[in-house]
Amino acid sequence: ESKATGRNRLTVFEAEMLAGKRQRRLIERELRAAVYLNELELYYQPVANADGSIFALEALVRWRHPVRGIISPAEFIPVAEHSTLIDLVGEWVFKRACADITQFPGKRISINVSGEQLKRDEVVLMAQRVLLESGRMASQFVLEITETVATAATPEVLARIQCLKELGFRIALDDFGTGHCGFNYLKTLPINSIKIDRSYINRLANDEVAQVFVSALAQIGRIQDLTIVAEGIETAEEFKLARAAGCTRFQGYFIGRPMPRKELSGVLDLQNGSTRLTA
């Protein structure tokens, strides 16, 4: 009986990938229930300084589906973005992060904000409300907005980002290099940091254009007082090259994988005992 239901859920989810509108509705309903059934989990991936010490943690949501196991956000966030369901998921993530941050003393938490959330004033109201209810300070959080969302932003969306920044949140431009944000436009954006997409970091070893791009961005970062984060560091060599290019923060499997809060607390305890994750 439960096996049959399970198989049914699986089929439905896969059918959704074919983008049928009715199937998508079914997944949306399942995901909405998942929020209330506590099937979402927040993993954390370390963001390190040049010496390997942990500076911050990026919150990355997962769906622990009773049948399919762990489902990646790359699969279900796009489904949620088709409706205001993304607001519900976004609020769950922020609330969870506000509760978890006490486990990571002195560290910031980075949270991904969908471009769809930014299309509604609710995003600002939600952030204020959750902060107030949890007693946290906005400056403890970084809100990540992808470059693609920033370059396509309407004046209203830009105003909301500005407003979140004025509330005290740090703003990061995520997946930089995948869109086409001009350096002039970059100057006008209300941001504190830029996260270079991992496609550039992975090419650092054998692509001179990628090296020049990352170095140029690092220099712009110094001039404009922006932190430059290298994403997707998978090897010691990439870590070395990203440092040499002038990046100041580092994230990727080589530094640490996304992991549940409890596992990460262990890593942080180790670090506080002066052991470094990486030299």
In the complex, the residues that contact ligand C2E under the rule CB under 6 A are 45, 60-61, 72-74, 77, 93, 112, 114, 144, 174-175, 198, 232-234, 252-253, 258
* 52 versus 232: smaller Cβ distance to Mg ion: 232
CB under 5 to 8 A by kind: which of ligand C2E, Mg ion, none does 183 bind? none
Angstrom distance (rounded) from CA 242 to CA 107? 22
Structure tokens at 120: 């509604």
CA atoms within 13 A on the CB side of 62: 17
Least distance between Mg ion and beta carbon 194 (Å) = 11
User: In whole angstroms, how close is the CB of 271 to ligand C2E at the nearest point?
Assistant: 18
> What are the structure tokens assigned to 277, written together?
């994750």
Residues facing 62 on adjacent strands: 41
* Interface with Mg ion (CB under 5 A), residue from 144, 149, 229, 268: 144
Q: Which residues pair with 249 in a beta bridge?
A: 229
Chosen residue from 91, 116, 174, 238 binding Mg ion by CB under 5 A: 174
251 binds Mg ion (CB under 5 A): no
Min CB(7)–ligand C2E separation in Å: 25
Instruction: Answer yes or no whether residue 112 interacts with Mg ion by CB under 5 A.
Output: yes
8 Å CB contact between 203 and 174 = no
Q: Rounded to an integer, what distance in angstroms lies between the CA atom of residue 62 and that of residue 103?
A: 19
Residue 51 Cβ vs ligand C2E, minimum distance, rounded to whole Å? 19
Smallest separation, CB 264 to ligand C2E (Å):
13
CB 110 within 8 A of CB 56: yes
Closest distance to Mg ion from the beta carbon of 98 (Å): 18
DSSP 189-209: S--SEEEE-HHHHTTTTT-HH
The partner residues of 54 in beta bridges, in order of sequence, read: 48
- Nearest-angstrom CA–CA distance, 26 and 13: 8
CB under 5 to 8 A by kind: which of ligand C2E, Mg ion, none does 234 bind? ligand C2E
- Element spanning 108, H or E: strand 108-112
Of the candidate spans 23-31, 40-48, 136-144, 159-167, the one that interacts with Mg ion by CB under 5 A turns out to be 136-144
The interface region with Mg ion, picked from 112-120, 124-132, 255-263, 266-274 by CB under 5 A, is 112-120
How far apart CA 246 and CA 191 sit, in angstroms, is 19
Pick 73 or 246: Cβ nearer ligand C2E: 73
* Residues in touch with Mg ion (CB under 5 A): 112, 144, 174-175, 231
